[in-house]
Amino acid sequence: MQPAGTLGAHLGSAAKRAAGMLLLGVCWSCAHTSIRQVGDCDRVPAEQRIACAACTVRNEAKGWIGDYEYRPDNDPDDRCVRVK
């Protein structure tokens, strides 16, 4: 059995590790934001809204053109991505 001081320190580092992994997971999910509907383009910066709308309006054709996602974190030349 471990002394109480070491057990508490071990649990503290495990909790810190778990919190760090949770934070990393949250950041990772935010980094890969994609928008599929024109109405959601208000979530991107103002200077990207026209490009977002031009990309996602293609989805209104119900798959005739394909499904597109606007990814605001990508390189400017690669923000409108065909997903199907």
Over residues 56-81, the pLDDT tens digits come to 998 887 767 778 999 999 999 999 99
Please name which of 77, 70, 20, 29 lies closest in space to residue 50, comparing C-alpha atoms: 70
Task: State residue 22's pLDDT score.
Answer: 57
- The domain limits of the chain are 1-31, 34-84
Single pTM value for the model: 0.57
pLDDT digits (tens, 9 = 90+) for 10-55: 557 777 776 665 554 544 444 458 899 999 999 999 999 999 999 9
